[in-house]
């Protein structure tokens, strides 16, 4: 028997009490010690609970035993580990939290030793042979989280001393359950954090790694999501030797849902850019794609332009996006407003094209509303006028400096950074 116990509760050393014919107090001490050692090593909860029941058999002999825990809904108690019941392997004993002896113990946070279960009104029998029963609550931080239940096939099988032993083990069980629950939460939080980091890396990979290098031009793009993952998208897409696609888009909302739409949008757009030169088909196609795949729930404002770097001309479609700003060398402002409604809302929306020339010394600024609306939730919007003033003041700087300064000032303008939306800036300078 000692060897058997040692096998089931691996930390019991059979040599310690060798030759002593199983005095309960010594066995109890060994069992308690073995369980403590298991707890110190963060083994899984069920292993600890099983070791409690298996070890207990030799300290407080029983015919059936179970450790029951209250479910998350606080309505059902369910056996976590059992011994001696006639149950299919995976089947569990379940009962309502306010019924039977177990229910009484849980409701009163007190143990009960029943000499004859036949005398108990409303007794719920899980085994017809059971005559006496001992139940103690498992208490964690003043809250009953379950109970340990022992059943015997003879009358008055359990003594007061047994009740005390069971109390001691119930406190071990509470620690095991607490550990397992905290551990599960930590694991979940870590896993979520890891997945978020991966999502962030994927999203960064979906954005341009570096700006294009084209003689006579200076390009820069910058994206700062408000959370790990964002709903803004920008792209430089080489189409031909002379034609460069310039995209900026803002998916409504932020965080992971917006990030998922952003990834779909990028794929839908790039596929169409690769297969057709007709900008109308590109935008109408993406509009259909978004409408069909997300209904009117998700929508996107987008600007798609193609810069012909030999003729210095931009053809574009603005699908409901904040107007890109073209600043000429002489300080004139032109807004790129031609196009049609935002994407994903109106099934057969029509889009017109706009055309604009990029004179030497002019700068095209594209941005998402996270820039101009920084601080708006607090009633002090960064605003387009301030943006235009900044652009004029920074005109002599490189494209990257302009983009960085604008993003920085917009962010600093917002009194509460939690209210900030995703922020994206693209700057194209014709030198």
Partner 1 sequence: MKLKASEHGSVLIIELKGKIMGGPDANMFRDTLKEHLDKGVKKVVVDLGKVDWMNSSGLGILIGGLTTVKNADGEMKLARVTEKIKSLLMITKLIQVFDSHETVETAIASFSE
Shortest distance, position 376 Cβ to partner 1, whole Å: 6
Name which of 146 and 375 has its Cβ closer to partner 1: 375
Give the nearest distance from C-beta 315 to partner 1 in angstroms: 18
Query: Alpha-carbon distance 300 to 289, whole Å?
Result: 12
Please state the closest distance from residue 120 (CB atom) to partner 1, in A: 49
Residue nearer to partner 1 on the CB measure, 194 or 347: 347
Instruction: Give burial (CB, 10 Å; 0-12/13-18/19+) of 178.
Output: middle
Find, among 56, 122, 157, the residue nearest to 66 by Cα.
56
Least CB distance to partner 1 at residue 424 (A): 14
Q: Which is nearer to partner 1, 30 or 422 (CB)?
A: 422
Least distance in angstroms from the C-beta of 129 to partner 1: 55
- Overall residue count recorded for the chain in this entry: 431
How many other CB atoms are there within 10 angstroms of residue 76's CB atom?
Answer: 15
Q: Contact residues for partner 1 (CB under 8 A)?
A: 250, 252-253, 295-297, 299, 301, 319-323, 337, 339-342, 345-346, 369, 373, 376-377, 379, 421
Nearer to partner 1, 260 or 376 (CB): 376
CB of 301 to partner 1, least distance (A): 6
- Closer CB to partner 1, 22 or 295, in the complex: 295
d(CA 317, CA 355) in angstroms, rounded, equals 9
Which C-beta is closer to partner 1: that of 247 or that of 336? 336
Q: β-pairing, 132-140 with 112-114?
A: antiparallel
């Amino acid at each position: 028997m000692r060897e058997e116990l040692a096998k089931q509760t691996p930390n019991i050393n059979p040599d310690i009490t060798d030759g002593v014919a199983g005095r309960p107090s010594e066995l109890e001490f060994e069992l308690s010690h073995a369980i403590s050692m298991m707890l110190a090593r963060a083994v899984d909860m069920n292993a600890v609970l099983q070791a409690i029941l298996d070890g207990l058999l030799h300290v407080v002999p029983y015919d059936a035993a179970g450790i029951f825990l209250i479910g998350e809904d606080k309505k059902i108690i369910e056996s976590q580990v059992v011994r001696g019941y006639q149950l299919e392997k995976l089947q569990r004993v379940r009962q309502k939290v306010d019924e039977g002896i177990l229910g009484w113990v849980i409701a009163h946070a007190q143990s009960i030793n029943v000499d004859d279960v036949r005398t108990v009104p409303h007794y719920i029998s899980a085994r017809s042979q059971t005559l006496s029963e001992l139940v103690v609550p498992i208490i964690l931080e003043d809250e009953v989280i379950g109970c340990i239940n022992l059943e015997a096939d003879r009358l008055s099988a359990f003594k007061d001393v047994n009740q005390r032993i069971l109390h001691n083990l119930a406190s071990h069980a509470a620690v095991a359950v607490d550990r397992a629950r905290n551990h599960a939460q930590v694991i979940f939080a870590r896993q979520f954090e890891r997945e978020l980091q991966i999502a962030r890396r994927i999203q960064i990979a979906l954005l341009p790694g570096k700006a294009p290098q084209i003689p006579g031009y200076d390009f820069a793009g910058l994206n700062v999501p408000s959370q790990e993952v964002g709903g803004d998208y920008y792209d430089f897409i080489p189409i031909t030797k002379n034609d460069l696609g310039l995209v900026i888009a803002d998916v409504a909302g932020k965080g992971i849902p917006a990030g998922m739409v952003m990834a779909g949008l990028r794929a839908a757009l790039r596929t169409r850019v690769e297969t057709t030169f007709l900008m109308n088909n590109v935008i109408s196609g993406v509009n259909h794609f978004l409408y069909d795949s997300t209904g009117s729930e998700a929508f996107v404002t987008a600007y798609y332009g193609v810069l012909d770097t030999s003729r210095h001309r931009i053809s574009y479609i603005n699908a409901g996006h904040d107007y890109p700003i073209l600043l000429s060398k002489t300080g004139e402002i032109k807004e790129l407003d031609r196009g049609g409604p935002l994407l994903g809302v109106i099934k057969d929306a029509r889009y017109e094209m706009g055309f604009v020339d990029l004179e030497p010394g002019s700068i095209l600024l594209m941005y998402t509303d996270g820039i101009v609306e920084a601080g708006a939730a607090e009633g002090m919007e960064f605003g387009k006028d301030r943006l235009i003033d900044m652009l004029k003041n920074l005109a002599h700087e490189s494209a990257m400096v302009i983009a960085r300064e604008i993003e920085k000032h917009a962010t600093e303008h917002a009194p509460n950074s939690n209210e900030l939306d995703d922020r994206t800036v693209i700057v194209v300078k014709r030198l």
